[in-house]
Structures are given as structure tokens and as C-alpha cells.
Amino acid sequence: MEHNAEGVDLETSLGYLLKQAASALRTSMEAVLRPLGMTVTHYAVLELLAQRPGLSNSQLARGAFVSRQSMNVLLQSLERDGVVTRPAEAPVGKTLPTRLTPLGRRQLAKATIAVKAVEDRMLAGLDARSQREARRILTSVVAWLG
């Protein structure tokens, strides 16, 4: 971040721009997911489980950037609504592996269309080369700070 005598210059601060972009993306995603009865976190859980069935509460919480407690409340709600299943007892240790149900897969299919439209709109002003470069830069930033 660039600093001036008074502090961070918000006009040129890459960190501030990243936060603005993340906030704008989340707001746009919430707007298209709300009519489907979902939040961004709800969608993230479905997407994570589609790609890696059997993730635990802790793994899902990390992947969706929420606390374990918040994830547990969401998973209880999703399980009650028939979107995910978890065994009554952990097959190994204390971990309850979570899986999508057919209803969860249908919800995810609808949400994916909505979220893809937001991402397409976000990238509309960038050509394919610029999109690849943006992904490369953001991946590097994450790696350097991680």
C-alpha cells in the first residue's frame, strides 16, 4: 500500500481496491442468490461439496471464510431442509462428512447459472489475455500473503 504523510492513499491503495472489488462482487452475488433463497455462504458450501464430497464442518468453514460455529448452524439448516446429509455418528474420529443430496445438486445448478452471470459481468471489460493476467496476479498475491 502506498502511504502519504496522513496514512494510506485510498486512491492508489491496491488493498483498498481489492476490498472494494470483493465487496462489490459479494453484493452482486447476494442479489442474484437471494431470489433462490441462498446466501453467498450457502452457495459456497454447495460448490465446495460438489467438488469435494465428504468435507467436514471445519473444512467447509475454512473454504467459505466463516467460523466453525456459523458453519455448523448453516449445515444444521441445510440438513433439515434436505440439501445435505451428514451421518448421525462420525465414521472416523469426530468428523461428520457432509454430502449434497439430489435437492442440493439442483439448488447448486440454479445458483451456478446466477453466479456465472455475475462473474461474466465482472469480467466483461477484459479480454481473455487480461483475464488470465488478473488471475495470475491475484493468485500470486494470495500466495505471497498466505
Closest Cα to residue 26, out of 54, 68, 66, 55? Answer: 66
Domains of the chain: 39-145 (1.10.10.10)
Q: Which H helix or E strand runs over 115?
A: helix 102-123
Cβ 86 vs Cβ 98: under 8 Å: yes
Per-residue pLDDT of the chain (146 residues), as tens digits, is: 455 557 778 888 988 999 999 999 999 999 999 999 999 999 999 999 999 999 999 999 999 999 999 999 999 999 999 999 988 776 777 777 899 999 999 999 999 999 999 999 999 999 999 999 999 999 999 999 98
The conformational region for residue 54 under phi > 0 = left, psi -120 to 50 = alpha, else beta, is left
Q: Cα-flanking dihedrals φ and ψ of residue 64, to 5°?
A: -100, 0
